[in-house]
Amino acid sequence: MARVMDGNDLERAIRRIAHEILEQNRGTSDIGLLGIQTRGVPLAERLAMVLESIEGSPVEWGSLDIGMYRDDLDRRPKTELGETSVPFGVDGRTVILVDDVLYTGRTVRAALDALADLGRPSRVQLAVLVDRGHRELPIRPDYIGKNVPTSRTERVSVRLVERDGEDAVIIEAGAGT
């Protein structure tokens, strides 16, 4: 087991992503963050707070559950549905999807489908804390916390204080999908 990011690394990564978002989008006026359930959600909230502390104005954020949009339902254990809560209008907005780990890209594809059923954003960007490679779809992130090359058998876990009591990114060997 290897700890590739600790609490401080996470904080710095989020701060850097926030600055990149501001630079790319020239401010926060048209932005809405959507965290992908489950750990994308606290990350989106943190990003929103950091952006707000830099810009001085509140940043909209919400949560997106993709349970109803997965393409691999048959091959997973019973899917729990999480909450989709989008307290801002999606139409015409720049929506930034936020997730903890980017891997095959299928989660993001499902999130794009879910987003399309909510409205028509003018642009969609993607922010991930960790990119572990092995894309199966033509999906690329706009903002990356850290590139962590892995083999398919390894398992990448992101732990967040809000859910797991600590902040860390951990790679474990063994049965990873």
Give the interface with another protein as residue ranges (CB under 8 A). 65, 67-70, 73-84, 113-114, 117-119
Strands in 60-64's sheet, in edge-to-edge order, are 60-64, 31-36, 94-102, 123-131, 143-147
Question: Residue 23 or residue 74: which is nearer to another protein going by CB?
Answer: 74
Nearer to another protein, 66 or 126 (CB): 66
CB 100 within 8 A of CB 129: yes
Contacts 24+ apart (CB under 8 A), 5-10: 5/130, 5/145, 5/146, 5/168, 5/169, 6/167, 6/168, 7/166, 7/167, 7/168, 9/146, 9/169, 10/129, 10/145, 10/167, 10/168, 10/169
What is the residue type of 26? R
Q: Closest separation between CB of residue 91 and another protein, Å?
A: 10
Please say which residue, 2 or 116, places its beta carbon nearer to another protein.
Answer: 116
CB 144 to another protein: min, Å: 28
Smallest distance from the beta carbon of 36 to another protein, in angstroms? 15
Q: How far is the CB of 163 from another protein (least distance, A)?
A: 18
Cβ-based nearer residue to another protein, 2 or 73: 73
Q: Which CB sits closer to another protein, 118 or 139?
A: 118
Give, for 106, the enclosing helix (H) or strand (E). Answer: helix 106-118
Say if residue 38 is preceded by a cis peptide, omega within 30 of 0.
yes
Least separation in angstroms between CB 117 and another protein: 5
